[in-house]
Amino acid sequence: MQLIKQNLIPFMGQIINLKRLIKFTNQNIIHVFGHTVTDEYLPHINPIYKPKTVLEFKKDLDYILKYFEPISVHEVLSHTNKEKIITKPSFHLSFDDGLKEIYDVVLPILKSKGVPATVFINSDFVDNKDLFFRYKAALIADRFPNEKERILAINYSEKNVLDELASQLNINFIDFLKAQKPYLTSEQLKTLQKNGFTIGGHSQDHPNYNLLSEFEQVSQTINSCKFVQNEFLEKNSFFAFPFTSEGIPLSFYGKIAQDISLTFGVSGLDFSNKGKHIERIDIENYGRNARAYIHRAYMTNFLKKITGTIKKRI
Q: Please tell me the predicted confidence (pLDDT) of residue 288.
A: 78
Q: Please tell me the predicted confidence (pLDDT) of residue 15.
A: 56
* Mean per-residue pLDDT over the chain, rounded: 91
Please report, rounded to a whole number, the percentage of residues in the chain having pLDDT higher than 90. 79
Q: Please tell me the predicted confidence (pLDDT) of residue 303.
A: 81
CA-closest candidate to residue 43, choices 130, 143, 127, 148: 143
pTM: 0.92
Q: Residue 282: is its pLDDT beyond 50?
A: yes
Phi, psi of 11 (to 5 degrees): -65, -50
Measure the CA–CA gap between 94 and 75, rounded to whole angstroms.
14
Q: Please tell me the predicted confidence (pLDDT) of residue 271.
A: 54
Name all domains of the chain by residue range, CATH numbers in brackets: 2-131+182-306 (3.20.20.370), 132-181 (no CATH)
Q: Residue 274: is its pLDDT beyond 80?
A: no
Dump pLDDT digits (tens) for 153-199: 999 999 999 999 999 999 999 999 999 999 999 999 999 999 999 99
Report, in angstroms and rounded to the nearest whole number, the Rg of the chain calculated over CA atoms: 19
For residue 137, name the pLDDT band (cuts at 50, 70, 90).
very high
Measure the CA–CA gap between 250 and 93, rounded to whole angstroms.
26
Answer whether 296's CB lies under 8 Å from 270's CB: no
Q: Please tell me the predicted confidence (pLDDT) of residue 3.
A: 46
Q: Please tell me the predicted confidence (pLDDT) of residue 311.
A: 46
Give the contacts of 178 (CB within 8 A, at least 6 positions apart). Answer: 128
